[in-house]
């Protein structure tokens, strides 16, 4: 980081990373007191990834009310994968070894722009733009099959590409406690989970794929304030519209839905060291690619008491009181018609005890 004239700063950096994963999954069946290789399930996946990046960043104030920041990152990726498995050969009527290889080599630029305007003591505005990358997880690239039941399995997709997005936000802050944000993003080659079916074998398999282009626009409002001396809280709400357009299972899809998200957290303090907290969230119906997710909600509460001359505290917390954190949804396109319910173990009651030896204060002159 190098300071320049007029309070400006220039920063530059370089980063390099290397990743190698070696996932050797060998399945064997125990037959007649000996282990026999299960070729239909075994797989050996080797993946190498090299990422090098360099960036520059410039920031400065533009008068008394304006400040700016400009950045640019150059990123280069080289990756290769090798899946050593078995495939059934109908000519020889047995499983034979095969190698499925892929390579990735791409270089991209990622600019960022940040501009702030402080109108007065009560109002400030910020606009920022950035281009981002989201790479697939390593396990999502592995074509190994993971069986869920007799007719359903998960499988990685070595053809996955990274997704790229353009994001722009305009926010306004009032008196430091109320923030309103307008946002828009465009994402290409979005990575989403899809269901595909084999009508001959009656099998269904789940995998990640670059299924579509997503356009998202929304408005978010957040507020945090001490309402009374004994009562403080914050609230966050977000209304967004998601639209997906692409091709799945050779079927053209165009799906759009508006979603509402509300999160609330309230803290209370009473005399003699008593305190309480109430929190919760609600999310309306949503869509993720080709999967529709039904509304869900959760409410949690906690109580605390200071003891031992305020050096200790006891806390009782109840999470997801009404057991509302249940994910339900469906997916319907082409020849796929599926429903799912995912019940999380989210309801819990916990009690904790905390003791502070020095109230968090360090003696003067003490060593770190």
Per-residue pLDDT 10s for the chain (368 aa) are 666 666 789 999 999 999 999 989 888 899 888 888 888 778 899 999 999 999 999 999 888 899 999 999 999 999 999 988 877 666 777 777 778 888 999 999 999 999 999 999 999 999 999 999 999 988 888 888 787 777 788 888 888 999 999 999 999 999 999 999 999 999 999 998 888 877 777 778 888 999 889 999 999 999 999 989 999 999 999 999 999 998 877 788 889 999 999 999 999 998 889 999 999 999 999 998 888 999 999 999 999 999 998 889 999 999 999 999 899 999 887 778 888 898 888 899 999 999 988 755 555 555 54
What does the pLDDT read at residue 362?
Answer: 56
Q: Measured between alpha carbons, how far is 298 from 348 in angstroms, rounded to an integer?
A: 12
What does the pLDDT read at residue 193?
Answer: 86
What does the pLDDT read at residue 367?
Answer: 57
Q: Measured between alpha carbons, how far is 179 from 173 in angstroms, rounded to an integer?
A: 4
Q: Measured between alpha carbons, how far is 260 from 249 in angstroms, rounded to an integer?
A: 30
What does the pLDDT read at residue 15?
Answer: 96
User: How many other β-carbons are positioned within 10 Å of the β-carbon of residue 60?
Assistant: 16
**Cross-strand bridge partners of residue 129:** 113, 168
Q: Measured between alpha carbons, how far is 164 from 190 in angstroms, rounded to an integer?
A: 8
Q: Is 293 helix (H, G, I), strand (E, B) or coil?
A: strand
Nearest Cα residue to 267 out of 224, 319, 324, 237: 224
User: C-alpha distances in angstroms, 253 versus 111, 121, 192, 247?
Assistant: 31, 48, 13, 6
Q: Is 20 helix (H, G, I), strand (E, B) or coil?
A: strand
Q: Measured between alpha carbons, how far is 328 from 331 in angstroms, rounded to an integer?
A: 11
What does the pLDDT read at residue 359?
Answer: 54
Q: Is 139 helix (H, G, I), strand (E, B) or coil?
A: helix
What does the pLDDT read at residue 88?
Answer: 67
Entry pTM: 0.80
173 and 179 in contact (C-beta within 8 Å)? yes
What does the pLDDT read at residue 329?
Answer: 92
User: How many other β-carbons are positioned within 10 Å of the β-carbon of residue 191?
Assistant: 21
What does the pLDDT read at residue 1?
Answer: 66
């Amino acid at each position: 980081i190098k300071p320049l004239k007029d309070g400006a700063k220039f920063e530059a950096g370089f980063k390099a990373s290397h990743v190698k994963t070696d996932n050797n999954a060998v399945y064997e069946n125990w037959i007649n007191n000996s282990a026999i290789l299960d070729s239909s399930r075994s797989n050996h996946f080797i993946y190498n990834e090299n990422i090098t990046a360099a960036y520059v960043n410039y920031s400065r104030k533009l008068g008394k009310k304006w400040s700016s920041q400009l950045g640019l990152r150059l990123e280069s990726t080289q990756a290769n994968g090798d899946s050593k498995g078995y495939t059934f050969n109908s000519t020889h009527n047995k499983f034979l070894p095969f190698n499925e290889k892929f390579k990735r080599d791409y270089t991209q630029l990622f600019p960022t722009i940040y501009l702030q305007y402080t109108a007065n003591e009560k109002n400030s505005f910020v606009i920022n733009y950035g281009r981002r990358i989201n790479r697939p997880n390593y396990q999502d690239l592995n074509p190994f099959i993971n069986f869920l039941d007799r007719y359903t399995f998960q499988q990685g997709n070595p053809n996955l590409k990274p997704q790229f997005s353009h994001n722009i936000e305009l926010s306004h802050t009032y008196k430091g406690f109320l923030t309103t944000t307008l946002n828009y993003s465009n994402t290409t080659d979005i990575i989403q989970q899809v269901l595909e079916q084999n009508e001959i074998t009656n099998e269904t398999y789940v995998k990640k794929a670059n299924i579509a282009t997503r356009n998202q626009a929304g408005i978010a409002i957040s507020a945090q304030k001490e309402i009374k001396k004994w009562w403080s809280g914050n609230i966050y709400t977000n209304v967004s519209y998601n639209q997906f357009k692409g091709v799945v299972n050779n079927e053209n899809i165009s799906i759009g839905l508006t979603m509402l998200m509300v999160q609330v957290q309230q803290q209370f303090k009473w005399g003699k060291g008593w305190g309480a907290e109430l929190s919760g969230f609600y999310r309306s119906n949503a869509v993720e690619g080709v999967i529709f997710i039904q509304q869900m909600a959760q409410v949690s509460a906690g109580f605390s008491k200071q003891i031992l001359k305020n050096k200790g505290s006891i806390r009782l917390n109840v999470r997801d009181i009404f057991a509302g954190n249940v994910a339900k949804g469906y997916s319907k396109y082409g020849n796929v018609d599926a429903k799912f319910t995912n019940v999380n173990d989210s309801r819990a009651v916990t009690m904790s005890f905390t003791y502070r030896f020095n109230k968090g204060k360090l003696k003067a002159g003490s060593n770190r």
